[in-house]
Amino acid sequence: MVDERKLRQILLQVEKPARYLGGEFNLPDTDKPCDERVCLCFADKYEVGMSNIGLRILYHMLNDTDGVVCERSFAPSVDMAEKMRENDIKLFSLETRREFTDFDIVGFSIGFELAYTTVLYMMDLAGVPFYAKDRGEDYPLIIAGGPCMVNPAPILDFFDAIMVGEGEVNLAAFVELHRQSKKQGLSKKEFLEKASKLEGVYVPSVGGTVKRAVVKDLDKAYYPTKILVPSCDIVHDRSTLELFRGCANGCRFCQACFYYRPIREKKKDTLLRQAKELIINTGYEELSLSSLSTSDYSQLKELVEGLKEQAQKDNVKLALPSLRLDSFEAEIYEDTKGASLTFAPEAGTQRLRDVINKNVSDANILSSLTAALEHGVKNVKLYFMIGLPTETEEDLKGIVDIVKLVKKLHQEHGRSRIINITVSTAVFIPKPLTPFQWEAQITTDEMYAKQEYLKRELRLKNVKYSWHDAKSSVIEAALARGDRRQSAVIERAYNTGCVFDAWNECFDYDKWMSAFEYCGIDVREYTGAIDTQKELAWDFIDNGVTKAYLLKERERAYEGKTTPNCIGKCNGCGANKLGRCFS
Amino acid sequence: MIVFRHRKTGETSFLSHIDTMRVLQRTMRRMRAEVKYSAGFVPHMLTYSTTPLPLGVQSLAEYFVADSPLDDEKELLERFNDNIPAGLKADFCAVVPQNPNLAAKVVASLYEVEAEENVSEDVKEILGLDSYVMKQFKKGQMLDVEVRNKIFAIETEGKKLRLTLATGNENLRVDSFVESLSRYGVKACANDVTRLEQFVLKDGRFVAAKEALL
């Protein structure tokens, strides 16, 4: 365990020391008798990790299991890491200040490809070897889970096991199996061989294929309502209600949409009960709803009415995410004093929206914006993507046209005196498990040219334009569709100083490019188009949605044909075989 | 109006003042203290505190006031302690007719420093000096500041050092002062310091804020 006095002395010299101490309200009993100790890690800072709903669920789920204690560890800031190294303090858990080697299992939640070097940074600070093959019986099992496991190929060599799918199923089973194996005195190798047979568990040293694990009945699934309430400010500092998993819309660029299928809802009464418990147990001033497309929740109106009543009674602000506005939702905005509308048309023209299957028509945009402006919305945030397959100059011009339309509609219908329009563009990144997984990403020169065009054309009064960094999008794309050869690149990038790549101020493109070059790998191999006949690095994972369906969707994209939302009628994507949609 | 005297020890001593206030306000919500809100466009909870502690300094005597109509002191204290992180638990609760405005009334604090080694008696000679200048970070720069009139008492006992220093409008930062004592060989950091009590002035004497409320 860490020398507490030494730790407290260094905490006086770093920024935001509260990040490193835990001690939050609703802390589970980590001193209870246990025979299995797990440390859940998040490869980013405390403020980001503590906002993650998945980590929150798994942390409380494991702590609510008899005989299991789960602790947390986050990536310390660079200033803290420096002090830790100076004082010979290894990375520790927040709850009991234990080092990695004091745990049976250390699990990383990885939600973003640019967090890969931060995983190595944490392993380095913990004093454990990066590669699973170099960690003998003295080291804990180091495993990974989270959305990046849709293609874990670039990081497979770093981990003993990969949790593919939902942790409520595979992590719980993995921890339980390890408890039993410990009692039987099994070696790490023997245990991993057994674990490789569990649903949603992939063991790189064993190989084979794996089927994604999903919660069959989300309504009855574990969901904590007595959650940790951080004492310092975090990114999403509020209670969150998870409405459903999966998305019926099928936008062809969106990984989350396909990855989280099958679509499973919670019942309205379950959500109202959970909301009530969350409000009482946390004291949070705000309650937000979480899902990929909240407006598709089948009982949204009844749910929001129930929540509004509860929220008013307890002086809690109800935060609603971006909705597709029709008149009913506009009323909600007015009631909740929502003066801001977030709208994501993603593409500037109807043609391109059809290609990407964003089933929002020009008429929808017009009516939604009119309704919002008539209800007094004064901040409009618009999200678009550039570099989408088949994009032309006309499509970019379409983005500018939509912004001008908002200004015009505000003049004609706006109830507020002023309007602030924020336009953000992200760069299209072809991601695994999407119909666009075979597409090429545009070059950085093209990205810059498109961003320059928009910067020039959107120099309008009350319009603010922001854009996502082009270079980090290239690395993200390369890692997203990466293969096993990339573990050497990630290691090299980390060793040359790359860490916290998701933070713009820390990202260093040149170091990444040098790392690729050093390993003799051409980035364009990963960012260019992929032959649809070629075997993909993530083909060993059965994520439910079939390759045939994705290919069919890709063809429809090129034909400019849309595929309707699957709420009314199943489109046969294949996710149903993992668990029934809308069960 | 309810007043709590709570500690700020262990992990919570590293919480900033703003974070501490947020934790306390959420505690009020969890314990259903029915605290009133301001009537402005963005209503905020009507709560008050005393002079913030420097980061890392611990305390057994922080005061927190909330504008609540509830009046069962024993039950309030119980509910407060059931709903707050361990490091901020309270040992005293009083219901008072109006805001005691402790931030303005507190003039001094008693601190205990647990140094790494025995503290030399020499440190007490400060009380006999006309002037005591120490370095203090003010308005973005390190300045030499005269603080002798803010030092009221110094006692030593083995590794322990007890300091009574000015608090409130004429505040002397205890962490900076303890750091300045290195010239007397005192080895201690901010986290070795604990505030034991805060005082108000009554009939020319220092009286514990808690006593003054009763």
Q: How does pLDDT run across A217-268, given as a tens digit for each residue?
A: 999 999 999 999 999 999 999 999 999 999 999 999 999 999 999 999 999 9
The predicted-structure confidence for A4-53, as pLDDT tens digits, reads as follows 888 999 999 999 999 998 999 999 999 999 999 999 999 999 999 999 99
Buried b (16+ CB within 10 A) or exposed e, A333-363: bbebebeebbbbbbbbbbebbbbbbbbbeee
Longest dimension (CA), chain A: 75
pLDDT of residue A326: 47
The pTM assigned to this predicted structure is 0.94
**What backbone torsions phi and psi does residue A321 show, to the nearest 5 degrees?**
-75, -175
Q: Dihedral sign for Cα A475, A476, A482, A484, please.
A: positive
Cα distance between residue B76 and residue B63, in whole Å: 15
- Structure-block tokens of residue A527: 């960012």
The contacts of residue A85 (CB under 8 Å, 6+ apart) are A125
Best of B12, B17, B22 to substitute, by most chain A Cβ atoms within 10 angstroms, is: B22
pLDDT of residue B182: 95
Class at the top of the CATH hierarchy for domain B105-213:
alpha beta
By C-alpha distance, the chain A residue nearest B37 is A315
The contacts of residue B141 (CB under 8 Å, 6+ apart) are none
Partners of residue A282 in chain B, C-beta under 8 Å = 26, 30
Q: Do B30 and A282 touch (CB under 8 A)?
A: yes
- Structure-block tokens of residue B63: 């005061």
Given a cut of 50, is residue A328 above it in pLDDT? no
Instruction: Decide: residue B131, CB within 10 A, 0-12 exposed, 13-18 middle, 19+ buried.
Output: exposed
Cα distance between residue A487 and residue A129, in whole Å: 13
Give the model's confidence band at A339: pLDDT under 50 very low, under 70 low, under 90 confident, else very high. Answer: low
CB A402 within 8 A of CB A410: no
Q: For residue B146, what is the enclosing H or E element?
A: strand B141-146
Give mean pLDDT, residues B29-50.
Answer: 93
Partners of residue B30 in chain A, C-beta under 8 Å = 25, 280-283
Given a cut of 90, is residue A579 above it in pLDDT? no
Identify residue A562 by its one-letter amino acid code.
T
Q: Do B19 and A18 touch (CB under 8 A)?
A: yes
Q: Do B26 and A27 touch (CB under 8 A)?
A: no
Longest dimension (CA), chain B: 57
Residues of A with CB under 8 A from a CB of B: 8-9, 11-12, 17-18, 21-25, 27, 229, 231-233, 280-285, 314-315
Q: Helix %, strand %, coil % for chain A, to 5? A: 40, 15, 45
Given a cut of 90, is residue A488 above it in pLDDT? yes
Best of B14, B35, B82, B173 to substitute, by most chain A Cβ atoms within 10 angstroms, is: B14
Give mean pLDDT, residues B112-133.
Answer: 96
Average pLDDT, chain B: 95
Query: Which sequence spans correspond to the domains of chain B?
Result: 2-100, 105-213
Q: Do A231 and B16 touch (CB under 8 A)?
A: no
Q: Do A23 and B26 touch (CB under 8 A)?
A: no
Given a cut of 80, is residue A404 above it in pLDDT? yes
Partners of residue A25 in chain B, C-beta under 8 Å = 23, 26-27, 30, 83-85
Give mean pLDDT, residues A414-436.
Answer: 93
Specify the CATH architecture of the domain A4-211.
3-Layer(aba) Sandwich (3.40)
Q: Helix %, strand %, coil % for chain B, to 5? A: 30, 35, 35
pLDDT of residue A324: 52
CA nearest B96: which of B5, B178, B161? B5
Domain with CATH 3.40.50 in chain A: 4-211
Residues of B with CB under 8 A from a CB of A: 10-12, 14-16, 19-20, 22-23, 25-30, 37, 55-56, 83-87, 189-191
Q: 3-state DSSP call for residue A71?
A: strand
CB A421 within 8 A of CB A384: no
Given a cut of 50, is residue A327 above it in pLDDT? no
CA distance B25 to chain A (A): 8
pLDDT of residue A332: 54
| B2-100 CATH | 3.30.70
- Structure-block tokens of residue A195: 């674990």
Cα distance between residue A86 and residue A125, in whole Å: 11
The predicted-structure confidence for A271-316, as pLDDT tens digits, reads as follows 999 999 999 999 999 999 999 988 889 998 899 999 999 998 888 9
Cα distance between residue A544 and residue A212, in whole Å: 7
CA distance A24 to chain B (A): 6
Average pLDDT, chain A: 93
pLDDT of residue A234: 94
Q: Do B22 and A233 touch (CB under 8 A)?
A: yes
Q: How far is CA A441 from CA A386, A437, B207, in A?
A: 10, 10, 72
Give mean pLDDT, residues B161-184.
Answer: 95
Share above pLDDT 90 across residues of chain B, in percent, rounded to a whole number: 91
Q: Tokens 């017009």 correspond to what residue?
A: A366
- Structure-block tokens of residue A177: 């199996």
Q: Do B26 and A22 touch (CB under 8 A)?
A: no
Alpha helical stretches, state H, A443-527: 444-457, 470-480, 486-495, 509-518, 524-527
**Is there a common fold for B2-100 and B105-213?**
yes
Give the model's confidence band at A161: pLDDT under 50 very low, under 70 low, under 90 confident, else very high. Answer: very high
Give mean pLDDT, residues B11-29.
Answer: 96
Distance of CA A120 to the CA centre of its chain: 19
Given a cut of 60, is residue B165 above it in pLDDT? yes
Q: Rounded to 10 degrees, what is the CA torsion of A60, A64, A67, A68?
A: -10
The predicted-structure confidence for A107-141, as pLDDT tens digits, reads as follows 999 999 999 999 999 999 999 999 999 999 999 99
Of residues A23, A229, A281, nearest to B11 (C-beta): A23
Given a cut of 60, is residue B84 above it in pLDDT? yes
